[in-house]
Amino acid sequence: MILIFLGPPGAGKGTQAKILEEQFDYRQISTGDLLRKHRREGTALGKEAQGYMDSGKLVPDELIIRMMDSELANVTDVILDGFPRTIAQAQALDALLRAKGLTAGALLFDVPRADLEERLIGRWTHPASGRVYHERFNPPKTTGFDDQSGEPLVQRPDYKAETIRTRLDVYEKETAPLVDYYQDPKAKRLTRLDGLAPIAEVTDRIKKLIAIRPSAA
């Protein structure tokens, strides 16, 4: 089953993706993951992508789709987070999935902007593991230090107020149109989730959706 997680930064997509990975053996795939993997392994696709990056150019959609094609050959239950970002990418992804006899369901994590800003501002991370804390909602046991390793936490530049507001502006301008693309009532490919609901409730809703639509959404 291919699940596409839609929603702005801070909507809870990453949290739910980790839960599905741990409990149901889903694999989360992002554009960044693909690029890092192919560059690390020195694949032909990775070298091609590196050429664009070295010259300061964006990696073209066509190359990302080819990387996605290679990944989908090895896994069946996939969460796409951060891809597609544009209508053109969504159309290219649909073409790839049709060629494989697959379809994808999109889950939209709905959270009002004011709540997103509150969630994102004040986040701290443990660089080695990726564990995320929040000064208000999920504080570490000892301020400034990771619960498990005891190592210092850091605040990424993209968690600062001005940067966060810019990221949300970009999302609303560039990525939000995907909602219209996937919510075609005939295709029924979009399901809205209340991103403000408790984590366990959101997980239960996703579990039911997976059970109802085991092969495609």
Say if residue 217's pLDDT is above 70: no
Tell me the residue type at 52: Y
Tokens 């664009």 sit at which residue?
Answer: 52
The pLDDT tens digits for 149-179 are 999 999 888 778 888 899 899 888 888 889 9
Element (H, E) at 108: strand 104-110
Length of the chain measured in residues: 217
pTM for the whole structure: 0.79
Q: What is the CATH number of domain 2-111+175-212?
A: 3.40.50.300
What positions carry a catalytic annotation? 13, 85, 123, 156, 167
Residue 73, both tokens: 């050959």
Contacts of 163 (CB under 8 A, 6+ apart): 157
With a CB cutoff of 8 Å and minimum separation 6, the contacts of 128 are 149, 151
Mean pLDDT of 87-113: 91
CB atoms within 10 A of CB 171: 19
Contact 146, 131 (CB under 8 A): yes
Q: Domain ranges for the chain, please list them.
A: 2-111+175-212
Task: Give the pLDDT band of residue 109 (cuts 50, 70, 90).
Answer: very high
Q: What is the pLDDT of residues 138-153, one digit of tens each?
A: 899 999 999 999 999 9
**How does the average pLDDT of the chain come out, rounded?**
88
CA 34 to chain centre: 13
